[in-house]
Every structure is written in C-alpha cells, then in structure tokens.
C-alpha cells in the first residue's frame, strides 16, 4: 500500500498520527471527549446570550455590525485558503527545486518526486477542506443575519412569548453552526502548519504535530481567553474593583 502512494511506512504512520490528533482535538473542543469546558463551548453560550439580548433591543445596528464583522473575517480566511491552494499548485511545478532545498536541510530525508507531490496534494486537500468550511460558514452567517431580522421587535412582554423564543432559538442555533464550521476551517489552517513538517521528515512531522496540538489544547482549555469568558468579575466587597486594571496575561 505504501508503494502505491509512493510513501514509506514511517510516512504513513506519521500521517495516521496527524489525522488522529486532528480528530481527537476536534472531539475535545466540541465536548465529546473531555468534560472540561473548552473555549469554543464557552463562546457558544455567549452566542446564545447575545441572541437573547438582541431580541430585547428595538434598534439592532450593533448586532448587524457584529454579523458584518464575522462575515468579513470568514471571507478573508476563505480567500486566503484559495491563495494557499494556488501556491500549492505552483509548488508542484517547482518540485525539483524544492526537493533540492529540502535535501540540504540538516534533518531532511531523501524523498522521491512522486512522494513529494503526494504530500503536496495532501496539503491541497487540507486547504480545500478549510475553504469549503469557510464558504459554508459565510453562508450560515448570512442566514443568521436574516434570522436576526426575523426576530420580532419587543413590545412589553413580547420578547418572552413563544414566537419570539422560537425566533431567538433559530438565530442562536444558526450562529452556533456558523461558528462551528468557521472553527473547523480555522482548525484546518492551523493543522496545515503542522503538516509542513512532513516535507522535512516523518519524525519532524510528528514533532510539529505535537507542538501544534499543545498550542491548540492550551488555547482551548487553559488560556487566558477561556478564563476571561468563564471567569467571574471581582465582587463589590473584594476591593478589586477600586483602581484595579484589567490586563490580559497571555494569549
């Protein structure tokens, strides 16, 4: 089987480790593998809170501005993925030159032209996956904007009637789905960075994947950003609110 793909057994083992790390991290971030709250799940709670707050506003310029920002960010990453795919095809045309450079690296292993091109095509698949995720997320954010517009304007208790509650649930659910697909595309971009180690050596591929996984796990489960979402503000009797600044400690 390895001969059919022009890859060695070590290459296939490293690729298997890479894909396993990707799947496990996705499951963990979605709350299917560990009980600890991830940053992604915490932000989903805030998305729902946002939609409920939006339903109580008569003027929703702030909400449309936020949706516009989300769509612009998604469009940027979709365009970047397409540019990166074009770069990969340019890389295929310069295979001999790239192999010469890789062979001069201290830890670079000798790789055949066919094996190199197979690895490049794998990178194209990852970036194409990210592009389709970003494209779908952009469309879902657009749908979410429409659903926000369909939420009735509150009048007295109208923001709490069943019709409004259903409209809020639809908008919140669509926003969460859009965020899920955006995160999947962004995760693909991140893992494509770890994938680059494969062009050097299977061992470097495993190490780059481990390093990337450590960074992503920290950001999802142990970062200051997660603490900012889940943390409680200082109480009025703690004395922390008097002249105390709010400072981000790390990423």
Q: Using CA of residue 160, residue 164, residue 166, residue 172, what is the dihedral sign?
A: negative
Q: Once rounded to an integer, what is the mean pLDDT over residues 33-52?
A: 93
The string of pLDDT tens digits covering residues 104-155 is 666 655 567 788 888 999 999 999 999 999 999 999 999 999 999 999 887 6
Question: 227 pLDDT exceeds 70?
Answer: yes
Predicted pLDDT of residue 185: 96
Q: Is 60 exceeded by the pLDDT of residue 246?
A: no
Q: Please write down the HEC assignment for all residues of the chain.
A: CCCCCCCCHHHHHHHHHHHHHHHHHHHHHCCCCCCCCCHHHHHHHHHHHHHHHHHCCCCCHHHHHHHHHHHHHHHHHHHHHHHHHHHHHHHHHCHHHHHHHHHCCCCCCCCCHHHHHHHHHHHHHHHHHHHHHHHHHHHHHHHHHHHHHHCCCCCCCHHHCHHHHHHHHHHHHHHHHHHHHHHHHHHHHHHHHHHHHHHCCHHHHHHHHHHHHHHHHHHHHCCHHHHHHHCCCCCCCCCCCCCCCCCCCCC
Q: What integer pLDDT is reported at residue 117 of this predicted model? A: 85
Total Cβ atoms within 10 A of residue 205: 24
For the entire predicted model, the pTM comes to 0.85
Q: Which band of pLDDT confidence, cut at 50, 70 and 90, is reported for residue 200?
A: confident
Q: Which residue has the higher pLDDT, 159 or 66?
A: 66
Percentage of the chain beyond pLDDT 70 is 84
pLDDT (mean) for 226-248: 61
Average pLDDT over residues 7-24: 93
d(Cα 195, Cα 26) in Å, to the nearest integer?
A: 16
């Amino acid at each position: 089987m390895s001969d059919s793909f022009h890859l060695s057994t070590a290459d296939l083992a490293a690729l298997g480790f890479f894909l396993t790390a990707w799947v496990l991290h996705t499951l963990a971030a979605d709350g299917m593998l560990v009980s600890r709250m991830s940053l992604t799940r915490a932000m989903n709670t805030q998305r729902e809170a946002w939609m409920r707050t939006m339903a109580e506003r008569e003027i929703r310029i702030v909400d449309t501005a936020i949706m516009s920002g989300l769509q612009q960010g998604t469009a940027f990453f979709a365009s970047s993925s397409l540019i990166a795919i074009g770069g990969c095809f340019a890389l295929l045309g310069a295979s001999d030159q790239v192999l010469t450079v890789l062979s001069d690296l201290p830890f670079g292993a000798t790789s055949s032209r066919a094996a190199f091109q197979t690895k490049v095509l794998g990178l194209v698949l990852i970036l194409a996956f990210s592009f389709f995720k970003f494209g779908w997320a952009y469309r879902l954010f657009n749908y979410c904007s429409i659903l926000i517009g369909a939420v009735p304007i509150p009048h007295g208790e109208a923001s709490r009637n069943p019709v409004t509650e259903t409209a809020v649930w639809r908008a919140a659910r669509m926003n969460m789905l859009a965020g899920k697909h955006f995160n999947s595309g962004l995760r693909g971009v991140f893992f494509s960075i770890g994938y680059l180690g494969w062009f050097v050596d299977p061992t470097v591929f495993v190490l780059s994947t481990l390093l990337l996984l450590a960074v992503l796990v920290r950001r999802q489960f142990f970062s200051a950003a997660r603490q900012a979402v889940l943390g409680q503000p200082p109480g009025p009797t703690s004395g922390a609110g008097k002249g105390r600044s709010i400072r981000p400690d790390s990423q």
